C-alpha cells in the first residue's frame, strides 16, 4: 500500500458500493466549521509560538500560518526550523474548551449504519479526538484513532502518514473512503484509490479560514463535496 500507487483517472468519480473502511478527519469534519472550535486551537498555537520564539503575537501569527501552509502543521515547521520538542506544544494547543460541541445523535446513527469499519485519521492528538467524540457522543462509533503520535509526528498531507495508517489498520485503499475538510489532504488518498469526500462549510455560515483552506472543491482528486455530513451519509446508505 504505497502512496506511489497508480492514480485513478482524473475524471473518475467513484461511488461507495465497495467501501468497507470509512476514514474520517476530526476537526471541522465531524463537527460544524462554524463552531470555530479550531479558532481556539489556532489562538493557542499563536500564543505558543510567541512565547517559544519570543516574538510579538502578530509576528507569531505570520510564522504560524507560513509553517502550517508549508509543513502541514505549525508544529512540524517549529520542529524542522527550530528543533522544538513537540510534547509541550501538543499539550498546550489542545487544552481548549470543548463545551461548544453538543451531542449529535443523528450523525452517530448515520455513522453506525455505515457497513464496515470506521476510523479517525487526524493531525491532532488522541486525547483531543476522544474529547471531541465524547462531547458529540459518537465515541462508540469508531474502532480507533490514528493521531499525530501514531504518524510519528508527520502530518497529513505527507504520503507516509497515509501509508502508516493503511499498514497499521490493514486497510485496502480501494475499499475505503476518506472524509476531509481540506482538499489538499485528499490528494494522496485519491492517488491510492480511496473514494474522497470534501466536507465544506455551509455558505450561509461565517467561518474563520484562510482562502487556500477553502479551495480545491473542483480538483480532480475531490470526488464528492458536501456541506452536511449527516445528510450525505444517509444518502450513501440509502444508495447501497
The tally of CA atoms less than 13 A away on the side-chain side of residue 90 is 17
The CA distance from 20 to 149, in Å, is 25
Which range has the worst mean pLDDT, 9-13, 69-73, 165-169? 9-13
Find cell 465515541 and name the residue. Answer: 139
Q: Which percentage of the chain shows pLDDT scores above 70?
A: 90
Query: Is the model's pLDDT at 2 over the cut of 50?
Result: no
Locate the DSSP E strands across 56-194: 117-121, 144-146, 176-180
Please give the span between the terminal C-alpha atoms of the chain, in angstroms, as a whole number.
26
Mean pLDDT, rounded, for 14-29: 96
Domains plus CATH for the chain?
21-35+102-239 (3.40.50.1000), 37-93 (1.10.150.450)
Query: What does the block give as the cell for 221?
Result: 482528486
Q: Which percentage of the chain shows pLDDT scores above 90?
A: 79
Query: Is the model's pLDDT at 207 over the cut of 90?
Result: no
What is the separation of C-alpha 206 from the centre of its chain, rounded to a whole number of angstroms? 20
Find cell 473502511 and name the residue. Answer: 21
The tally of CA atoms less than 13 A away on the side-chain side of residue 17 is 3
Q: Could you tell me the pTM of the whole model?
A: 0.86
Mean pLDDT, rounded, for 30-50: 90
Query: Is the model's pLDDT at 17 over the cut of 60?
Result: yes
| CA distances in angstroms from 143 to 4, 80, 164, listed in the order given | 27, 32, 17
Amino acid at each position: 500500500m504505497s502512496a506511489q500507487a497508480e492514480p485513478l483517472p482524473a475524471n473518475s468519480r467513484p461511488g461507495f458500493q465497495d467501501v468497507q473502511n470509512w476514514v474520517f478527519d476530526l476537526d471541522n469534519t465531524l463537527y460544524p466549521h462554524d463552531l470555530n472550535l479550531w479558532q481556539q486551537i489556532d489562538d493557542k498555537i499563536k500564543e505558543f509560538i510567541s512565547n517559544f520564539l519570543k516574538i510579538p503575537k502578530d509576528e507569531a501569527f505570520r510564522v504560524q500560518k507560513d509553517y502550517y501552509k508549508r509543513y502541514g502543521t505549525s508544529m512540524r515547521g517549529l520542529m524542522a526550523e527550530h528543533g522544538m520538542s513537540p510534547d509541550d506544544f501538543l499539550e498546550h494547543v489542545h487544552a481548549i474548551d470543548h463545551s461548544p460541541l453538543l451531542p449529535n445523535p443523528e450523525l452517530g446513527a448515520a455513522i453506525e449504519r455505515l457497513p464496515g469499519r470506521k476510523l479517525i485519521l487526524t493531525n491532532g492528538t488522541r486525547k483531543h479526538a476522544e474529547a471531541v467524540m465524547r462531547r458529540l457522543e459518537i465515541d462508540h462509533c469508531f474502532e480507533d484513532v490514528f493521531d499525530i503520535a501514531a504518524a510519528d509526528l508527520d502530518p497529513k498531507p505527507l504520503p507516509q502518514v497515509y501509508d502508516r495508517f493503511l499498514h497499521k489498520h490493514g486497510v485496502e485503499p480501494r475499499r475505503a473512503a476518506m472524509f476531509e475538510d481540506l482538499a489538499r489532504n485528499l490528494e494522496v488518498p485519491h492517488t491510492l484509490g480511496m473514494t474522497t469526500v470534501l466536507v465544506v462549510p455551509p455558505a450561509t455560515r461565517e467561518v474563520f479560514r484562510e482562502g487556500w483552506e477553502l479551495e480545491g472543491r473542483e480538483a480532480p482528486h475531490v470526488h464528492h463535496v458536501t456541506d452536511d455530513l449527516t445528510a450525505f451519509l444517509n444518502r450513501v446508505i440509502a444508495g447501497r
